Amino acid sequence: MPHISYIDTAVPNVKVGTMLKIEIDNEDKKRKTCMRVGKVIQRTKDLIIVDFAYLKGNGSFRRSYRVMDLAGKLVKWEVIE
């Protein structure tokens, strides 16, 4: 049986396909933050990659987050059911 480290169990409900409401920096408006809904498209041992749809038009953009930042509540987030 493989060893499960703390980082793997820190945020167990964040898996690929999970919808998250997560805080992002609004880079074009003097780094103010806002909450956006995105979908987890990839999870590694210590990173998750979230895909966000554009508010206007087609397409999407991606942001990566450290799992320990999510576990330590350095980034505001919640799971959307």
- Give residue 5's pLDDT: 57
Q: How far apart are CA 58 and CA 29, in angstroms?
A: 21
Q: How far apart are CA 2 and CA 73, in angstroms?
A: 27
Q: What's the pLDDT tens digit per position in 38-52? A: 999 999 888 999 999
Domain boundaries, the chain: 6-80
Q: How far apart are CA 54 and CA 69, in angstroms?
A: 24
pLDDT < 50: residue spans in the chain: 1-4
* CATH architecture for residues 6-80: Roll (2.30)
